[in-house]
Structure 1
């Protein structure tokens, strides 16, 4: 809002915040801060309204703290066409969900590094897509500010895009995750920290 944080700074901050939250409450909530991710994990059985309410409350807090003008809208709106942002949101949400599926749901992954992997993916996604679509990857992240500041421009792209992308990413990872390796070989590399402690 005041120009004190550069765009790369926003990318780094965004990635680090998600990483910290995963390590802080991932063991409690499964680190589901994104309705599109949660919906993918529950295979469309329910929409997580608590996350949407949380996003609206957080957006309301920002509005009260900074009293932003319309030009300081902190939601997501397309720089180009709505279709361009829609397609881009599908792609970056696919990448995010693919990484989350790999590091958070597969017992063969190095679980202790999940926060770093997911945070880094968000950092890279925002760095690439931020100047074009705003890099939402999260319906709640777009709906919250839209409701509070009454700016619904192309909101459909930021609801449908992440939903389609995360579903595709989750299903794609499930297709490639299976292996013919014996269980002993798989579990040998399941924990980075355990392997370090064994080697000491």
Structure 2
């Protein structure tokens, strides 16, 4: 059962050099991802005079996020596990694959990475607005809430299947960054027109903080965290064989 594997961790873990390196890797990867994803929307809006909400803009956003996340996961996978997303970190915590203390450190690094990326974009583009995620007209808050749960479930489920499951080593594990990037791009094509398709509280937090627009911001935290937790519980309970070797003590 996942609940039996959940661990708080030791406070020494927070200041261990390896843990700090992992947090730094999460910071850099999230910065790369958000800079590419948010920057693509700003660039497309500038080139098309506000056309980032057009079908072409949606496709551009899906590609930029898919490519950016592929790189972000790939460059940090061997250091921190390549979470690049507080919802992924939370889903792995619920499944007993990361300690609470390390997860909190990851969250801080991810939120800082997103914020710094948005600040850099604002500076580099001559003070252009880093638009916060918003719900489209005609959609309710609860529509967006359900969308975020479902899309993030798909994302975290993909992370478990390709990167966490002990049986995913080898060719499947090598494909993990590609699969994770693809599911995010596909979800943006499916849900981007409705609520922006965040699936990632850090991606929502940076633009909201820099633009100081917190309208319905809770949806982009509650939905992804619930979706990630459900994915963690489902995959751990149903698909992972608990006859495999337990995690090394260094993980707790």
- TM-score between both structures, scaled by the size of structure 2: 0.66
Deviation of 1:105 after TM superposition, in Å, equals 0.6
User: How many residues are paired up?
Assistant: 179
Moved more, 108-117 or 93-102: 108-117
Q: Which residue of 2 aligns with 1:42?
A: 93
Instruction: Give 1:153 deviation, angstroms.
Output: 0.7
Q: Which residue of 1 aligns with 2:46?
A: 2
In structure 1, the residue matched to 2:149 is 90
RMSD: 2.0
Q: How does 1:164-179 map to 2 (within 5 A)?
A: 164-178=226-240
The 5 A counterparts of 1:48-63 are 48-63=107-122
Whole-Å separation in 2 of the counterparts to 1:170 and 1:122? 17
Structure with more relative contact order (C-alpha pairs < 8 Å, separation 6 or more): 1
**Deviant stretches of 4+, over 2 Å:** 3-6, 42-47
Q: Tell me: CA distance 1:178–1:101, structure 2 relative to 1, closer, same or farther (3 Å).
A: closer
Please report how far the alpha carbon of residue 157 of structure 1 lies from its aligned counterpart in structure 2 after TM superposition: 0.2
The CA distance in 2 between the partners of 1:57 and 1:83, in whole Å, is 30
TM superposition shift of 1:68? 2.0
Contact 1:78 / 1:132 at 8 angstroms: preserved in 2? yes
Change in 2 beyond 3 A, CA 1:88/1:28: same
Partner Cα distance (2:93, 2:157) in 1: 15
- Give 3-state SS (helix, strand or coil) of 2:151's partner: helix
Q: State whether structure 2 residue 95 is matched by structure 1 residue 65.
A: no
Cα distance between partner residues in 1 of 2:84 and 2:59 = 22
Indicate the residue corresponding to 1:198 in structure 2. none
Aligned-residue offset at 1:32: 1.1
Counterpart check, 1:158 vs 2:158: no
* SS of 2:78 mapped into structure 1: helix
* Deviation at residue 139 of structure 1 after TM alignment: 0.7
Query: Which residue of 2 is the match for residue 29 of structure 1?
Result: 80
Q: Which runs of 5+ in 2 are unaligned?
A: 1-44, 49-55, 245-252
Provide the secondary structure at the position in 1 that maps to 2:132. coil
Unaligned runs of 5+ in 1: 184-200
SS in 2 for 1:116: helix
Output the TM-score relative to the length of structure 1: 0.82
Q: List per-residue Cα deviations over 1:146-197 (Å, max 9, x = no partner).
A: 11101101001001110000000111111221459x99xxxxxxxxxxxxxx
Q: Equivalent residue of 1:118, what SS? A: helix
Which stretch of the first structure deviates more once superposed, 41-50 or 84-93?
Answer: 41-50
Per-residue deviation, residues 59-89 of structure 1 (Å, max 9, x unmatched) = 11112222225xxx43211112221111100
Query: Which range moved further: 13-22 or 131-140?
Result: 13-22
